[in-house]
Every structure is written in C-alpha cells, then in structure tokens.
C-alpha cells in the first residue's frame, strides 16, 4: 500500500494582537497584499507594516473567486511590473485567502487559473505567502486548495496542491470581532460540516480523524454556548477552523459540498450560506449531524435560509444545471457514497434533495 505524503502549514502565530508580528514573518523586498474590501479605510490597515513600494489589492467578496478574476489579478501585477514580490499576504475570509493563494501559484506557473483546477497540477513552488484570517470557518488558511469557479465550464474547483498551502499564518482572534452574527455562524459551520464529511468518508486516516474530531468538538462548544461570539469562543472557533482545514488536507469532503457548489454555480449563493441551506436536504446522509446542526442553529437563534426566494427561477432546466454542477464533483461524492455514487444520486434523486431546500 502507498501512503499519502501530507503537508500542513509549517508555521503559525496564534494569539490576541498577533497581527502586530506580521513584520517579523514577511520577507525583504516589496510585498503584495490581498485584503478584503471590507477593511478599506478601516483601522486594520494602519496596523500593517506597509512600505511605499508595496501593492494593495482590495478583494471584492460580494462574489466568490472566479478563474477570470484570478487571471485579472495576475495580469495586473505583470502590467505594473510587480509580479515577483518577496511575499504575498492574504488578509480576510476564505475568498480573499484563496485569491492570494491562487495568484501566488500563477506568478510562478505558466498559463491561466483554469489550467490548474484539479489535483496536483501546479508544478512550481509558489511565491512565499502569509495568511491572516479575519473570520473563522472555511479552513482556507490551512487547506491545500484555493477554490475558484470557472464561469464558462460551470466547474467550481480549486488548485489542490501542496504548493497552495500557506507558508506562515497569523491567527489573531481579535480580527473576528466585527463579523456579523449570521455570517459568523454560517462560516463557522463550514468547519463543522467539512469535518464531519471527512469522518464519514472512506478516504481517512487516524491523523486526519484526530484533526476533524477536535474541530467538531470545539464547534459544539462554541455553538452550544450562550454567547458564541465572546472572546473565548472566537479563539476556539479560530482554532477549530485551522484544525478543520488540516483535516481536509488529509481527506475529502462529502455530499454537502457538491450540493453547495451547485447552489453557488446556479444561484450565486456564497459557499458557507450554501452549505447551511444544503443541510436541509442532508438528513438521509448525515442523520446525527443533521439533528445537531439544527439544534445549534436554534440555540443561537439563527434562521437557516431556504431557496424559496428563487422559486420563480426554478424549473426543469434549473434542476438540470443543479444536477450537472453537483455530480461533477467525483472525488468527494465517491468519498461519501462509493464509486457507484451516480447510481445513488440519479437525476431524480438530486432533484428531490434540492426540493427539500425550498421551504422550512
């Protein structure tokens, strides 16, 4: 048997106010910052060790990363002759962190972003990069992928590569203080969901399981508490997010994420919210986790959205698009359901599952 050679983030700094140590971990030379647009003209920018020659790219996260957008970031850096930075720094949530990782890969590998959607297609080491998450849950800070949507093909898939992993993280729970409460829950639940998908799949080993179990345990502590956003819980969720990302680096997701990807492709719903909507149709596949998920949502007074507002757009053609955008994710679906997953997830079955997301 041949075992997987697994890589995790080599260095991280964890603690309140640790953003102040960013200067200690970036390299000499000019740097390129990818920063969530939310922080433009905010106090956080004043905490960064910016130099005159550095480049800031503010990432508009109203839409998730696309291959076209990643190509545009790279082309811009080439155009202004800033395509060989010493360091790329990603500051934000999953979309921003993934954008930084993707561009770091593209600057050292020829071609376009769409050329690297898949597993281990990136051949050259990326630009040295530092990740600074400002919301917890996606695990993008720890994972070996950066998820992008190819609008032309309808494929939502990342650059899955060891070269995608951040070289250094700064995990500062103070940066998650201003996250809106619903977004905090939806994003935090990404950790819970991809961790239980990992544990329920067939591509697992003991180390990945340990990461996933601890991530789930921390999520339960946070989301079953009276105040999920108090300082202690924001610290716990940041740790859970990191561990959940490590869990997925050792495994694959399961049924939830492909259906979530379908919602993102067809209705442009953000990933973490789409995950939570998808949970409405997952009782059959994950009965215990389904029950736990909705109990935690009730505990935090979070209303899980439905697809009801899209009902006028839903017809047979829509279901075909949803089916195609879901079933294309062979690795996670075979992880969860086996090699015959297409026999289980027939078109009618997939349609039935999406219909469960229409109403409470």
pLDDT tens, per residue, the chain with 360 residues = 678 788 999 999 999 999 999 999 999 999 999 999 999 999 999 999 999 999 999 999 998 999 999 999 999 999 999 999 999 999 999 999 999 999 999 999 999 999 999 999 999 999 999 999 999 999 999 999 999 999 888 888 999 999 999 999 999 999 999 999 999 999 999 999 999 999 999 998 899 999 999 999 999 999 999 999 999 999 999 999 999 999 998 899 999 999 999 999 999 999 999 999 999 999 999 999 999 999 999 999 999 999 999 999 999 999 999 999 999 999 999 999 999 999 999 999 999 999 999 988
Residue 322 is part of a domain; what is its CATH number? 1.20.1090.10
Range of the domain at 61: 11-176
| Residue 83: C-alpha distances to residues 77, 125, 127 (Å) | 5, 15, 10
Residue 230: inside a domain, yes or no? yes
Same structural domain, 133 and 185: no
Same structural domain, 171 and 197: no
Domain boundary among the residues 161, 176, 191 is at 176
Residue 4: inside a domain, yes or no? no
Domain boundary among the residues 176, 195, 226 is at 176
pLDDT of the residue at 1: 63
Same structural domain, 85 and 171: yes
Backbone angles phi, psi at 130, to 5 degrees: -125, 130
Longest CA–CA separation in the chain, Å: 58
Backbone angles phi, psi at 329, to 5 degrees: -90, 80
Residue 85 is part of a domain; what is its CATH number? 3.40.50.1970
Residue 340: inside a domain, yes or no? yes
As given in the structure block, the two tokens for residue 291 are: 């029950």
Same structural domain, 167 and 187: no
Domain boundary among the residues 111, 146, 176 is at 176
How many other CB atoms are found less than 10 A from the CB of residue 211? 26
Residue 322: inside a domain, yes or no? yes
Residue 281: inside a domain, yes or no? yes
Same structural domain, 236 and 314: yes
Task: Tally the domains of the chain.
Answer: 2
Same structural domain, 127 and 270: no
Same structural domain, 162 and 187: no
Same structural domain, 230 and 346: yes
Same structural domain, 188 and 134: no
Query: The sheet that has 147-150: what strands, in order across it?
Result: 118-119, 155-160, 147-150
Residue 98: inside a domain, yes or no? yes
| DSSP of 220-287 | HHHHTSS-TTSHHHHHHHHHHHHHHHHHHHTS---SHHHHHHHHHHHH---HHHHHHHHGGG-TTT-H
Residue 1: inside a domain, yes or no? no
Same structural domain, 24 and 70: yes
Same structural domain, 258 and 225: yes
Same structural domain, 172 and 303: no
Backbone angles phi, psi at 179, to 5 degrees: -70, 130
Residue 214: inside a domain, yes or no? yes
* Claim: this prediction has a pTM higher than 0.85: yes
């Amino acid at each position: 048997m041949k075992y997987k050679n697994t890589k995790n983030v080599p260095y991280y700094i964890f603690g309140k106010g640790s953003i102040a140590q960013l200067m200690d971990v970036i390299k000499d030379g000019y740097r390129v910052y990818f920063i969530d647009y939310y922080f433009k003209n905010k106090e956080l920018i004043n905490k960064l060790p910016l130099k005159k020659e550095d480049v800031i790219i503010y990432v508009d996260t109203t839409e998730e990363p696309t291959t076209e957008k990643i190509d545009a970031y790279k082309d811009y850096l080439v155009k202004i002759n800033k395509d060989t930075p010493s360091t790329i720094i990603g500051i934000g949530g999953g979309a921003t962190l993934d954008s930084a990782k993707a561009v770091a890969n593209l600057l050292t590998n020829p071609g376009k972003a769409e050329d690297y959607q898949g597993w281990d297609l990136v051949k050259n080491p990326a630009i040295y990069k530092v990740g600074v998450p400002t919301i917890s849950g996606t695990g993008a800070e720890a994972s070996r992928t950066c998820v992008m949507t190819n609008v032309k093909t309808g494929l939502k898939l990342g650059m899955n590569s060891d070269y995608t992993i951040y070289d250094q993280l700064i995990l500062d729970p103070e940066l998650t203080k201003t996250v809106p409460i619903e977004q905090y829950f939806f994003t935090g639940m990404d950790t819970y969901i991809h961790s239980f998908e990992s544990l329920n799949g067939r591509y697992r080993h003991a180390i990945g399981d340990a990461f996933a179990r601890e991530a789930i345990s921390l999520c339960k502590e946070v989301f079953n508490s009276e105040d999920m956003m108090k300082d202690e819980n924001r610290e716990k969720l940041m740790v859970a997010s990191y561990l959940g990302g490590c869990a997925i680096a050792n495994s694959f997701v399961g049924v939830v994420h492909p259906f979530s990807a379908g919602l993102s492709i067809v209705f442009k719903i953000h990933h973490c919210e789409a995950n939570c909507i998808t949970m409405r149709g997952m009782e059959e596949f994950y009965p215990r986790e389904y029950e736990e998920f909705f109990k935690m949502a009730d505990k935090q007074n979070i209303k899980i959205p439905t697809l009801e507002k899209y009902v006028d757009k839903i017809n047979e053609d829509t279901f075909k698009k949803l089916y195609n955008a879901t079933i294309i994710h062979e690795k996670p679906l075979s992880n969860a359901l086996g090699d015959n997953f297409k026999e289980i997830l027939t078109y009618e079955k997939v349609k039935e599952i999406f219909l469960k997301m229409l109403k409470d």
